[in-house]
Amino acid sequence: MPRRPFITFEGSEGCGKSTQVQRLAARLERNGVPLLVTREPGGTAIGETIRELLQFAPHGVGMTAKTELLLFEASRSQLVREIIKPALERGLCVISDRFFDSTTVYQGAARNLDRQIVEQLNAFAVGDCRPDLTFILDI
């Protein structure tokens, strides 16, 4: 059985990533393509806990850019090993609302972290699990 694609959607907040993920998933399902939809951060029990921490840090506590980066990478590593790779190995198409490109932009460029370090951590977190296709929504 040929490996089905791993597709990611990237873009700024509110640009329609989740809507496009849902539309693509619905179309593929109508065409009989087995698939899995996930999101970042999140997608696993550990990832959802990290997502909550990132969104709702304790009141008055500022999260450093490095801490934020490492939390995103931890969530991603868990997602890849627990969900994405096994789904691809079972022959599912995987669609993700965000992946490592978001980290490169938000934690790298926007938070002024060294791009090379961000890319090394991205690579460490995902190993050989890289998207086959990434849609970047720019509106």
Residue-level pLDDT at 10: 97
The overall average pLDDT reported for the chain is: 95
**Residue 61: what pLDDT?**
77
Cis peptide before 58 (omega within 30 of 0): no
More confident residue, 36 or 58: 36
3 state DSSP class of 22: helix
Helix, strand, coil proportions of the chain in percent (round to 5)? 50, 15, 35
- % of the chain residues with pLDDT over 70: 98
CB count within 10 Å of CB 78 equals 20
d(CA 112, CA 71): 16
Tokens of 20: 């496009």
pTM for this entry: 0.92
Closest CA to 78 of 125, 36, 39: 125
Q: Is 60 helix (H, G, I), strand (E, B) or coil?
A: coil
Per-residue pLDDT tens for 58-113?
766 789 999 999 999 999 999 999 999 999 999 999 999 999 999 999 999 999 99
Give the span between the Cα atoms of 62 and 59, in whole angstroms: 8
- pLDDT score, position 1: 67
Confidence of residue 5 (pLDDT cuts 50, 70, 90): very high
Domains delineated in the chain = 16-56+63-126 (3.40.50.300)
